[in-house]
Chains A and B, each alone.
Chain A
Amino acid sequence: MRSVIPILGLFVLLGCGGAETPDTPAAPATLGTADEGAASTGAMFGPAPASTLEATALVTSTPAQGETLGDAQGQGEGQILRGVFNPEALRAFQAERSKNWGGVK
């Protein structure tokens, strides 16, 4: 038993309490959207996303019956995600697919 105590002591000292590391690495920047102010300060890359694809999913915190409970750490994002009908997005998706982006690394 005595041998266990130092190990547990070391365990505590090294901070194994589930410490959170926010935004590591930096969260991506939102590119040119209305919610830019809420985004993190990550570098900006690439063109602004197509406006036709900016429909925002409704995010709730109510898990469906029988579902694994989601992120319980209060970050504001639940695990039940509602899609938004956006036929233009589908058209763009299918049109771009024909350009054969596959294999891009």
Chain B
Amino acid sequence: MKRSLKCSMLAATLFVTTLFGATPSAHAWYKVKNATPNPVSVAYAYASTSGFLCGYGDGCDDITTRGFRVKGYFNIAPGGIIVVNSRTYGNAQHYIWAIDTVGHVWSGNGGAFGTPYGGPFDRCEGNFKDLDIPYQNYIAIRKTTCCGGSCQSDATSTLIL
């Protein structure tokens, strides 16, 4: 009977932990590594919606048109690596834009996000009041969100020349 009870509790714990996936774990992150000889400034946009048994609130869920949170700058020294998001990687969409001190740019066609140059900044995309800030084309790292126990927990992007 005791064994059965223990078993049930363990399974229930695993069940809840796996389903919700909202609690940061030791292996949950999205990192950016600077594998160049120059300092790099990284701007990062992500979106995760807190829903039933899935994801987490990114603080921009009330922006109905584009609920992305955009943050910067993560300044990374040559050879350095930095955690830009410590939640489960698969639970969110991820986009980055970066520039180094010499003139190399990492941009793409993932989408345009308002990116204030002065930094640091932390804003929700979709606010009409922010239209006067510069927009940059970000690289799409992940375009979908994932729910459930088998979502990818972590990932690292490496910037090279």
Chain A interface (Cβ within 8 Å of chain B)?
Answer: 1-4, 7-8, 10-11, 14-31, 33, 35, 38-40, 42-43, 45-50, 53-57, 59, 63-64, 67-68, 70-73, 75, 77, 79-87, 89-90, 92-93, 96-97, 99-105
Contacts and interface: CB of A to CB of B under 8 A. Distances in A.
Contacts, number: 261
A30 to B, nearest CB: 6
A98 B104 CA distance: 20
A75 B66 CA distance: 21
Nearest to B138: A28
B7 A64 contact: no
A67 B158 contact: yes
B109 A35 contact: yes
Contact of A46 (B117, B131, B140): B131
A77 B139 contact: yes
A71 B158 CA distance: 12
Given A23-B143, A42-B66, A85-B103, A70 B155 contact: yes
13 contacts: A15-B147, A16-B148, A20-B146, A21-B147, A24-B144, A27-B93, A29-B112, A45-B66, A46-B112, A54-B107, A71-B141, A89-B99, A104-B130
A90 B15 contact: no
B144 A101 contact: no
B18 A67 contact: no
B103 A11 contact: no
B11 to A, nearest CB: 4
A41 B110 CA distance: 12
Nearest to A11: B15
Interface residues of B, number: 84
Contact of A71 (B7, B114, B126, B155): B155
B123 A59 contact: no
B143 A22 contact: yes
B149 A18 contact: yes
B15 A7 contact: yes
B85 to A, nearest CB: 14
B152 to A, nearest CB: 7
B125 A45 contact: yes
Given A4-B7, A49-B136, A102-B119, A68 B109 contact: no
